Amino acid sequence: MIRAAELYTAAYIDTQRHLHAQPKGYGGKGDKWARVVADLAMEFDAMSLLDYGCGQGRLMAAVQDLNCNLSCRDYDPAIPSKSAPPVFADLVTCTDVLEHIEPDKLGAVLTHLRQLARKAVFVVIATRPSSKVLPDGRNAHLILEDESWWRDRVTAVGFTIHSHPVSPSPKPSREWVAVLLP
CA distance 74 to 87: 10
**Beta carbons of 59 and 34 less than 8 angstroms apart:** yes
pLDDT on residue 56:
87
Domain count, the chain: 1
Each residue of 79-119: pLDDT tens digit? 999 999 999 999 999 999 999 999 999 999 999 999 999 99
- The predicted pLDDT at position 172 comes to 67
Give pLDDT, residue 129.
Answer: 95
- How far apart CA 79 and CA 89 sit, in angstroms, is 20
The whole-number pLDDT of residue 179 equals: 98
Query: What is the gyration radius of the CA atoms in the chain, in angstroms?
Result: 15
Residue-level pLDDT at 137? 94
State the residue range of the domain holding 37.
4-181
* CA atoms of 125 and 176, how far apart (whole Å): 5
Q: What is the pTM of this model?
A: 0.94
> Which CATH number characterizes residue 69's domain?
3.40.50.150
Q: In this predicted structure, what is the pLDDT of residue 30?
A: 80
- Predicted pLDDT of residue 167: 80
Listed as ranges, residues in the chain with pLDDT below 70 are: 23-25, 27-28, 171-172
**Partner residues linked to 95 by β-bridges:** 124
Q: Three-state SS for 93?
A: strand
Question: Sign of torsion, CA 124 127 130 136?
Answer: positive
